[in-house]
Amino acid sequence: MERLNLEDFQMYNFLSGVKLQMDGEGMAYLVSSADMEENGYSTDVYFVDHQDSRGSIRLTESGKVKSFAWISRELLAFTEYEKPTDDAPDGRTRVYTANIFGNLREERCAFTGLMTLEGVLADEKLVFSRVDNIVHEKELEGLSGEAYAARRAMLKEKEEIATVFDEYPFWFNGRGVINKTRKAVYTCGLNGEDLTRVTPFGFRTEYLFAEGNRIVYNGCQVEPVENYLTGAYVYDAVNGTTTCVQEEGVCHIYGVTLWNGDAVIVSSKMDHYSVSQCPDLTVIDPVSGARTVLCDYAREINVGNPVGSDCRLGGGYDLRASGGWLYFIMGVADASHLYRIDRAGHLEPVLEKDGSVDCFDVAQERICLVAMHDMRLQELYCMKAGEGKAARCTSWNDDFYLSRPPVVPEKLNFVNADGVEIHGFVLKPVGYRSDRKYPAILDIHGGPHLSYGAVYYHEMQYWAYRGYFVIYCNPRGGEGRGNEFGMLSGRFGTIDYDDLMAFCDQALAAYPAMDAARMGVTGGSYGGFMTNWIIGHTGRFAAAVSQRSISNFVSMEGTSDIGTLFAQGQVMATTHTNVEKMWMHSPLKYADKCTTPTLFIHAEQDYRCWMVEALQMYTTLINNGVRTRLCLFHNENHELSRGGRPKGRIRRLSEITDWMDAFLKPADR
């Protein structure tokens, strides 16, 4: 058995975006891996034919693929993006087709900017999304050649001098400044002809799905504040008409798809359990307007995968209709499963297994999915509806799995003081001996409406290989246990703190080899908030690492890309309705009580939890004589630990581990 090293995630293969052929006989998917030379990731398309024993066939070799879609059973379209140059200041997207049988690659067209291929309509029209700058559109309208280049250069020079904000939100994590930008939907012919914008000028699209002759999407006009209670629309490509199937201002929409031409929306009015409320599933006929609610919030169904991991890249379908069923990924307790529901509201499991289903597709009763099962890294699995189990059909990460077998988490569930069962996990240190004492790290998930499960986590496995107990649990506020369990709004730092401390007590009692005097705590996002909260309320931890955290809800409300929604929905207050409550739930209020040596990890371009959150905590601690350090990452955002550049991810984990070693393993240094 080889030792797991900090840099070993460079060897991982990340799978995403799986899509079946129309007849279900074959599937294409994306495979990504770290590219240290470019300090990024290389991505290509692979194809698997169920009747072909050769396994996965590589369809592209550039490593630059951004998106793809099936045109026909034989023909697949994909995009590659070229970075900005003087000739193309917004970059350029090239569209290619590949024949899966002859593997013939042909360039079909090119566009300015980053165009994401979202699907293909029945007449072989391509459906794209692109983020447009509406100021540029007006300024450059009708220009070409030298006149276009001169005006574009002038706009670029103005933007280099100053950035203007006159909308909200003005920036967004992972996208940068979004003021006056809009994600728009386009269609065009296979060779780029008849490029047509589907969405109105000034409309910002959120989710979209294309199938047959229709496109369903949701979003809103930003005038000048974006309405998070978005509307939903169906575009008919045959007659060029758009129908509103859900008015703005009613519900928050979490996803859309099409089901035999009808729109499906996953939405919540947030009227009973605030932002933690389980969503409704509604089917809407865009012609008649007839609405069928398959289930409402009281049925406690969640769509999507809440189980966290730092071993994923890319996305894919989590909601998909086929025949008489609507299939979706659902968080259940500490795992994500695949379920389906019919139009009468009959719900049944398709695949229930510990771990996580990350994305899937379905066609002709055949299902393919990317999953993390049996403590493996991502692989592709196939099954037919009704079989109840899936067969693994790729071995991308087998070599790694066999040479560095994972530490399997042991479940540690208990009933808390309020009579609620809390689910937890423990990783024993590699080489564990019951007659020794070991340090421990409590790792806290983000969200808070997420969860931990029995999936591979690089950082946790690395710490276990370095001789740490790693303990983690799902306190109240997480997803997969229903509305009441997930309702943390207005209670941040109360019941969740109690659950985490009780879990630590349970772990110490169950594992005597765990050294109570050498415990560390860390977490990111909501986990960073909880780390900040913990160090102001207890001195039981010998070291702490707060990552991409919240420290002050008053400052977070006005600086985060989701600040106003988060404050109202999670704290149940705003600065101007109840600033005392905002401050009461802010870790910064209690930071002067901290004595725990604390490292802060933050990214300069984190607009979810802006850098001021870490700076305020750091400043308080260092002025109070507490051992502290702040590591601020350049050119990274809120996704540093999961999708950040490889060199940044290595430095982050190195900083955390060195800090823990310094205070939890001083004899080893």
What residue type is assigned to position 389 of the chain? K
CB 117 within 8 A of CB 108: no
Angle, CA 149 vertex, CA 145 and CA 150 arms, to 5°: 115
Q: Assess whether 560 carries a catalytic annotation.
A: no
At 210, list the tokens. 């294309």
Joined together, the tokens standing for residue 4 give 């797991």
Alpha helices in 447-606 (DSSP H): 458-465, 483-486, 495-510, 526-535, 553-559, 563-566, 575-584
Cβ count near 62 (within 10 Å): 14
Cβ atoms of 382 and 367 within 8 Å: the answer is yes
Contacts for 322-328: CB closer than 8 Å, 24+ residues apart: 322/362, 322/363, 322/364, 322/365, 323/365, 325/385, 326/257, 326/259, 326/264, 326/281, 326/283, 326/294, 327/360, 327/362, 327/367, 328/303, 328/304
d(CA 217, CA 453): 32
CA distance 496 to 539: 17
Distant-in-sequence contacts of 402-406, Cβ < 8 A, 24+ apart: 403/1, 403/2, 404/1, 404/2, 404/3, 404/4, 404/8, 404/465, 405/1, 406/375, 406/376, 406/456, 406/461
Using the Cα atoms of residue 510, residue 512, residue 516 and residue 522 in order, give the sign of their dihedral.
negative
Token reading at 17: 């975006």
> Annotated catalytic residue: which of 267, 309, 336, 525?
525
Q: Structure tokens of 252?
A: 């928050």
Which residue among the candidates 252, 309, 638, 641 is catalytic per the annotation? 638
Q: In what order do the strands lie in the sheet with 325-332?
A: 319-322, 325-332, 335-341, 347-351
Residue 615 CB-half CA count within 13 A: 10
Residue 403 annotated as catalytic: no
> Any idea which residues carry the catalytic annotation?
525, 638
